[in-house]
């Protein structure tokens, strides 16, 4: 399967990002959007009856159902062209003509029949029938009701399911998979030779020598997978797991390049939620292989683990600041999850559509939204009242480059007033608010994901290919170049924050925002995102990695969507790209997601935003909500107390301001959030050179002018009303 994988176009022009909140599963009864329509089928019949050699071009970011390819002998190839940007179609023509040699690989599995996927019955709209008392209101007045989605396939998403199910004999791989994950053709041929594994202090290394054995120049991708030892009814493990990848330079015919691969043995550990409650590297032989895609092995060697390693409190993984242990037990939902045991014996039961639409009472008791959240119930009388409004003479600029835990921060924070902390946390939409007591300037943040556009001024950057296209290059350098170009343009636009990259998982091919996310695989997604974050950071632009986390469908995302999953899948699949972006990309900003994890809203989830993100991964920065429309479950009091620092809204709403501004608990939470925001801002382009000394931006000036005009109009209207009222009283003889 050939697809666009050349360097980023240099002449792309402005595109406008459109928020897409609709999934693509349902079309008509028995049909869906990702299969051939009747018209498309007729066209395919016509073309294939008229020509002996047919190339199909699929221009879409979602992995289309491609079973029809096997029905036509005339189809000689398929070219995937997902989201090219403004001028990327030039590359399509060059590939079709043979002027450019494609070198990309699929970022998703292309299945013959998407309705056979293990997630198919548990993707879409499921609304609880016993939660009416929690009904909410969206900012436009629409009612919202608690809903749910069950991730009962567990860790067996995408290629991990297909490869494991084939190994266990559950499926006929050739019938179910048309093009594997990581698959791609070229106009030349390559040979990959795997060198001998070596290991030192938990680091496994080896070389892969890639030789162009064909007649045309081209690039190739080295894909490294591991196959862990599996014990029946033991810890769930997939048969194939991507762990590393790299891409060659352009190789001329006969030329070779040696790619050095390095990976950590601890990264092959599985999360054992049932017994040890932490990551475990079980003893046995681990097959480490170089593959042309997730299914086809080029070479494989065994890495032997003599004794089981348990990464518990006494011996956490080296990449963790604090040990990763069971934290999401309550998100399990007591569901039946797909298991490899006895050859996926529970497949039918685990993947069936939900029959019970009621939330169990034990979970209902823990469900929280705006109707039952009381900040006073979460106050701690022993919390000390923080100092506010002090005159210590420290400016935020003085903090640039100082460690997050430098004692000077406390003196700075003492200077903040309550109203400043309130503004910093409440008004965080497309900006961070100013704080005059510490000379903090207001900054501008803008939307992505494939460009950077100012919603206030209408100024936008050039547009780049979609995340799916970038992931399909399997090229770290391109991902970083993308982020760097975004960062450069943002700096020129005086923009400090970029609402991207997005890295939720392509759990299901029908998800409406798959174009914005990279892949079905967390490692590929995480590596691409980490490089994009690092690229933007070169120009001092902080990238908001989003949507954190498990925001993998659009249906009901504003309807208190309770996402149920087991902890192993949460950590190994859905948190993985964010973990990589924090640990390797050093992300300084995060956008939380709309959905709930279990019965806790992600934007107010202490476990997610503090225990995992900050304590385990070492994140230092601030967390912003997704768009703050209220929706019956967003409120600032709950969020700032649980690790979400700012509300993505540029105006006052019913719940974006902290209501409890008198308790020490609440004020300390506001203080902590203010520090998180300011730490990110002061270490960004906003405080490079003379950037912090700029005057108001045009959109800010315009907003002030509008406010003044409105205020003047209101005053004039009030004066008229008073005059008319007095005249009426005089006429009625009621004045003194």
Q: What is the spatial distance between Cα 410 and Cα 402, in angstroms, rounded to a whole number?
A: 13
DSSP state of 75: E
Whole-number Cα distances in Å, 420 to 208, 388, 450, 636: 56, 10, 33, 15
Q: How many CB atoms lie within 10 A of CB 218?
A: 21
pLDDT number for residue 457: 83
- 472 within 8 A of 7, measured Cβ to Cβ: no
Q: What is the spatial distance between Cα 559 and Cα 589, in angstroms, rounded to a whole number?
A: 25
Q: What is the spatial distance between Cα 444 and Cα 456, in angstroms, rounded to a whole number?
A: 10
Q: What is the spatial distance between Cα 698 and Cα 37, in angstroms, rounded to a whole number?
A: 48
Q: Dig out the tokens for 25 from the structure.
A: 């599963």
- Among 688, 449, 725, 682, which residue's Cα sits nearest to residue 588? 682
- 426 within 8 A of 645, measured Cβ to Cβ: no
Q: What is the spatial distance between Cα 325 and Cα 124, in angstroms, rounded to a whole number?
A: 31
pLDDT number for residue 86: 84
The least confident of 144-158, 165-179, 402-416, 692-706 is: 692-706
Which CB contacts under 8 angstroms, 24+ apart, belong to 431-440?
431/650, 432/496, 432/497, 432/646, 432/677, 432/681, 435/396, 435/674, 435/678, 437/389, 438/394, 438/395, 438/396, 438/412, 438/678, 439/395, 439/396, 439/397, 439/692, 440/396, 440/678, 440/681, 440/682
- Burial of residue 245 (CB within 10 Å: 0-12, 13-18, 19+) is buried
The least confident of 15-19, 171-175, 366-370 is: 15-19
pLDDT at residue 676 greater than cutoff 60: yes
pLDDT in tens, 265-287: 999 999 999 999 999 999 999 99
Structural domain boundaries in the chain: 389-693, 698-736
pLDDT at residue 18 greater than cutoff 60: no
- 325 within 8 A of 317, measured Cβ to Cβ: no
Q: How many CB atoms lie within 10 A of CB 362?
A: 10
Whole-number Cα distances in Å, 449 to 85, 133, 135, 501, 566: 12, 37, 32, 6, 29
- 276 within 8 A of 310, measured Cβ to Cβ: yes
- 536 within 8 A of 543, measured Cβ to Cβ: yes
The arrangement of strands across the sheet holding 596-597 comes to: 147-150, 561-564, 596-597, 600-601
pLDDT at residue 642 greater than cutoff 80: yes
Angle between helices 664-682 and 418-426 (to 10 degrees): 60
Q: H or E element: which one contains 526?
A: helix 522-537
pLDDT band at 2 (very low <50, low <70, confident <90, very high): very low
- 436 within 8 A of 426, measured Cβ to Cβ: no
pLDDT band at 17 (very low <50, low <70, confident <90, very high): very low
Q: Dig out the tokens for 95 from the structure.
A: 């590939």
- φ and ψ at residue 260, rounded to 5 degrees: -95, 120
Secondary structure class of 211 (helix, strand, coil): strand
Q: What is the spatial distance between Cα 562 and Cα 354, in angstroms, rounded to a whole number?
A: 14
Q: What is the spatial distance between Cα 303 and Cα 555, in angstroms, rounded to a whole number?
A: 43
pLDDT band at 624 (very low <50, low <70, confident <90, very high): very high
Mean pLDDT across 249-268: 98
Q: What is the spatial distance between Cα 557 and Cα 553, in angstroms, rounded to a whole number?
A: 7
For 129-220, list the strands marked E by DSSP.
136-137, 143-144, 147-150, 177-179, 190-194, 198-200, 203-212
pLDDT at residue 16 greater than cutoff 60: no
For 389-693, the fitting CATH number among 1.10.260.40, 3.20.20.300, 3.30.43.10, 3.30.565.10 is 3.20.20.300
% of the chain residues with pLDDT over 90 = 85
pLDDT number for residue 140: 67
- 155 within 8 A of 573, measured Cβ to Cβ: yes
Q: List alpha helices for 290-360, DSSP H.
A: 341-344, 347-351
pLDDT in tens, 160-203: 999 999 999 999 999 999 999 999 999 999 999 999 999 999 99
Q: What is the spatial distance between Cα 273 and Cα 279, in angstroms, rounded to a whole number?
A: 8
pLDDT in tens, 297-334: 999 999 999 999 999 999 999 999 999 999 999 999 99
pLDDT number for residue 4: 30
Mean pLDDT across 5-9: 30
Q: H or E element: which one contains 675?
A: helix 664-682
For 69-202, list the strands marked E by DSSP.
75-80, 110-111, 136-137, 143-144, 147-150, 177-179, 190-194, 198-200
Q: What is the spatial distance between Cα 534 and Cα 250, in angstroms, rounded to a whole number?
A: 24
Q: H or E element: which one contains 270?
A: strand 270-272
pLDDT in tens, 194-233: 999 999 999 999 999 999 999 999 999 999 999 999 999 9
Q: What is the spatial distance between Cα 293 and Cα 185, in angstroms, rounded to a whole number?
A: 11
Torsion sign (Cα): 418, 401, 644, 442 = positive
pLDDT at residue 680 greater than cutoff 60: yes
Q: What is the spatial distance between Cα 482 and Cα 536, in angstroms, rounded to a whole number?
A: 8
Q: What is the spatial distance between Cα 614 and Cα 215, in angstroms, rounded to a whole number?
A: 51
Q: What is the spatial distance between Cα 225 and Cα 347, in angstroms, rounded to a whole number?
A: 25
Higher pLDDT pick, 47 / 724: 47
Mean pLDDT across 586-609: 98
The least confident of 335-339, 453-457, 486-490, 677-681 is: 453-457
pLDDT in tens, 44-73: 999 999 999 999 999 999 999 999 999 999
pLDDT number for residue 718: 67
pLDDT band at 152 (very low <50, low <70, confident <90, very high): very high
Q: What is the spatial distance between Cα 407 and Cα 411, in angstroms, rounded to a whole number?
A: 7
pLDDT number for residue 74: 97
pLDDT band at 712 (very low <50, low <70, confident <90, very high): low
Whole-number Cα distances in Å, 24 to 64, 298, 513, 554, 657: 11, 36, 10, 10, 36
% of the chain residues with pLDDT over 70 = 91
Q: H or E element: which one contains 261?
A: strand 256-264
Secondary structure class of 344 (helix, strand, coil): helix
Average pLDDT of the chain is 92
pLDDT at residue 380 greater than cutoff 80: yes
DSSP state of 252: -
- 472 within 8 A of 465, measured Cβ to Cβ: no
- End-to-end Cα distance, the chain: 91
pLDDT band at 26 (very low <50, low <70, confident <90, very high): confident
Secondary structure class of 525 (helix, strand, coil): helix
Give pTM, 2 decimals: 0.92
- Among 545, 628, 624, which residue's Cα sits nearest to residue 586? 545
- 88 within 8 A of 10, measured Cβ to Cβ: no
């Amino acid at each position: 399967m050939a697809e666009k994988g050349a360097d980023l176009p240099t002449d792309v022009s402005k595109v406008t990002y459109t928020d897409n909140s609709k999934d693509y599963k349902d079309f008509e009864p028995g049909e869906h959007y990702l299969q051939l329509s009747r018209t498309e089928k007729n066209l395919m019949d016509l073309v294939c009856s008229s020509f002996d050699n047919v190339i199909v071009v699929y221009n879409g970011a979602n992995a289309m159902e491609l079973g029809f390819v096997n029905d036509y002998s005339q189809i000689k190839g398929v070219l995937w062209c997902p989201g090219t940007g403004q001028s990327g179609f030039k590359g399509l023509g060059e590939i079709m003509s043979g002027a450019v040699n494609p070198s990309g690989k699929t970022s998703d599995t292309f299945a013959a029949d998407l309705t056979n996927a293990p997630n198919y019955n548990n993707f879409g709209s499921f609304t609880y029938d016993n939660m009416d008392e929690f009904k909410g209101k969206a900012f436009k007045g629409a009612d919202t009701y608690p809903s749910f989605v069950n991730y009962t396939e567990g860790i067996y998403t995408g290629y991990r399911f297909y490869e494991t199910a084939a190994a266990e004999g559950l499926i006929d791989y050739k019938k179910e998979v048309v093009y594997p994950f990581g698959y791609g053709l070229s106009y030349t041929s390559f040979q990959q030779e795997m060198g001998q594994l070596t290991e030192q202090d938990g680091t496994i290394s080896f070389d892969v020598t890639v030789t162009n054995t064909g007649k045309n120049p081209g690039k190739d991708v080295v894909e490294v997978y591991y196959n862990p030892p599996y014990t029946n009814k033991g810890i769930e493990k997939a048969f194939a797991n991507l762990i590393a990848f790299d891409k060659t330079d352009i190789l001329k015919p006969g030329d070779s390049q040696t790619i050095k691969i390095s990976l950590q043995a601890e990264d092959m550990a599985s999360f054992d939620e049932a017994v040890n409650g932490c990551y475990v590297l079980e003893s046995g032989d681990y097959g480490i292989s170089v593959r042309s895609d997730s299914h086809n092995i080029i070479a494989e060697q065994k890495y032997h683990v003599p004794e089981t390693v348990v990464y518990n409190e006494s011996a956490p993984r080296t990449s963790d600041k604090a040990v990763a242990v069971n934290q999401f037990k309550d998100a399990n939902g007591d569901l039946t999850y797909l298991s490899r045991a006895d050859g996926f014996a529970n497949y039918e039961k685990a993947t069936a559509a939900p029959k019970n639409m009621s939330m169990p009472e034990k979970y209902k008791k823990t469900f929280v939204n705006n109707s039952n959240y009381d900040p006073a119930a979460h106050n701690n009388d022993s919390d000390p009242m923080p100092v506010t409004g002090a005159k210590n003479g420290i400016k935020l600029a003085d903090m640039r480059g100082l460690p997050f835990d430098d004692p000077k921060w406390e003196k700075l924070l003492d200077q903040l007033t309550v109203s400043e902390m309130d503004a910093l946390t409440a008004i965080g939409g497309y900006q961070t608010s100013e704080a005059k007591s510490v000379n903090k300037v207001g900054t501008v943040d803008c939307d992505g994901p494939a460009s950077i556009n100012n919603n206030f001024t209408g100024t936008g950057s050039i547009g780049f290919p979609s995340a799916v296209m970038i992931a399909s290059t399997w090229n770290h350098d391109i991902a970083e170049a993308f982020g760097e170009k975004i960062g450069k343009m943002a700096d020129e636009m005086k923009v400090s924050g970029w609402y991207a990259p997005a890295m939720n998982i392509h759990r299901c091919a029908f998800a409406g925002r798959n174009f914005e996310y990279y892949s079905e695989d967390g490692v590929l997604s995480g590596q691409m995102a980490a490089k994009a974050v690092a690229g933007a950071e070169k120009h001092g632009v902080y990238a908001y990695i989003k949507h954190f986390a498990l925001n993998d469908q659009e249906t009901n995302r504003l309807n208190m969507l309770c996402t149920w999953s087991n902890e192993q899948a949460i950590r190994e699949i859905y948190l993985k790209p964010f973990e990589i972006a924090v640990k390797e990309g050093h992300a300084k900003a995060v956008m939380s997601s709309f959905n709930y994890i279990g019965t806790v809203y992600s934007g107010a989830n202490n476990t997610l935003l503090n225990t995992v993100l900050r304590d385990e991964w070492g994140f230092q920065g601030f967390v912003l909500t997704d768009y703050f429309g209220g929706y019956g479950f967003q409120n600032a009091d709950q969020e700032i107390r649980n690790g979400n620092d700012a509300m993505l809204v540029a105006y006052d709403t019913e719940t974006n301001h902290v209501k409890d501004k008198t308790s020490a608990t609440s004020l300390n939470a506001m203080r902590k959030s203010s520090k998180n925001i300011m730490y990110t801002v002061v270490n960004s382009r906003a405080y490079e050179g003379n950037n912090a000394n700029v005057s108001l931006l045009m959109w800010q000036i315009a907003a002030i002018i509008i406010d003044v005009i409105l205020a003047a109009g209101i005053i004039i209207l009030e004066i008229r009303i008073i005059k008319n009222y007095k005249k009426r009283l005089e006429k009625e003889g009621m004045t003194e």
